[in-house]
Structure 1
Amino acid sequence: MRKPELAAAVAERTGLSREKASEIITAFTDQILAAAARGEDTTLMGFGTFNIRSREARDGRNPQTGEPIRIQASKTVGFKAGKAFKDALRPD
């Protein structure tokens, strides 16, 4: 599902216009991004937790040449699904 489809579904369920639903989704994702930039986790009870994960520097290989390369340390985002989310994915 892409953002326009999500906005349409939210608009239909809430009675808002698609434009307003899109603004709300944008505000929601902006807040998650801002929290991540501050190094904070975002937890939505029953849905899941977005958190920042650190990756150590490591050695790798260029897949085309096989030449060894050094991969720099980095940060990435992780998501851990909540109980309700996991339960929704279980087969009946």
Structure 2
Amino acid sequence: MNKTELIDAMAADAGITKAAAKKALESFLDNVGQSLKKGNRVSLVGFGSWAVSERSAREGRNPQTGKTIKIAAKKVVKFKAGAELSNAVN
């Protein structure tokens, strides 16, 4: 399912226009992104939670040349599925 299909499904399920569903989805995504950017954790009980984790600097290899390269430290977003979501897919 892509973003357009999700908007269509949200509009149909909630009985709202596609424009309203798009606005709601974009608001949700913006707020989750802003919260994660501040270093906060976002949790939706039963669905899952997003958190920011730091990945330390490390050495890697260029697969074409085999030469060792340095990979910089960075922050990554991690998602952990909640119990209800995990049960729904199993």
Which interval holds the TM-score relative to the shorter structure? Answer: over 0.9
Q: Residues 5-24 of structure 1, C-alpha deviation per residue, up to 9 Å, x if partnerless?
A: 00100100111000110100
Corresponding residue for 1:72? 72
Residues paired across the two proteins, number: 90
What is the correspondence of 1:6-85 to structure 2 with a 5 Å cutoff?
6-85=6-85
**Aligned amino acid, residue 73 of structure 1:** A
Runs of 5+ unmatched residues, structure 1: none
C-alpha distance in 1, partners of 2:22/2:60? 41
C-alpha distance in 1, partners of 2:19/2:87? 32
Give the 3-state SS of the residue equivalent to 1:52 in structure 2: strand
* TM-score, scaled to structure 1: 0.96
Aligned structure 1 segments of 4 or more residues deviating by more than 6 angstroms:
none
C-alpha distance in 2, partners of 1:33/1:63? 33
- Once the 2 structures are TM-superposed, how far is the Cα of residue 89 of structure 1 from its aligned partner? 1.0
Measured on the aligned residues, the alpha-carbon RMSD in Å equals 0.5
- Once the 2 structures are TM-superposed, how far is the Cα of residue 53 of structure 1 from its aligned partner? 1.1
Runs of 5+ unmatched residues, structure 2: none
Give the 3-state SS of the residue equivalent to 1:60 in structure 2: strand
C-alpha distance in 2, partners of 1:69/1:75? 19
C-alpha distance in 1, partners of 2:35/2:61? 34
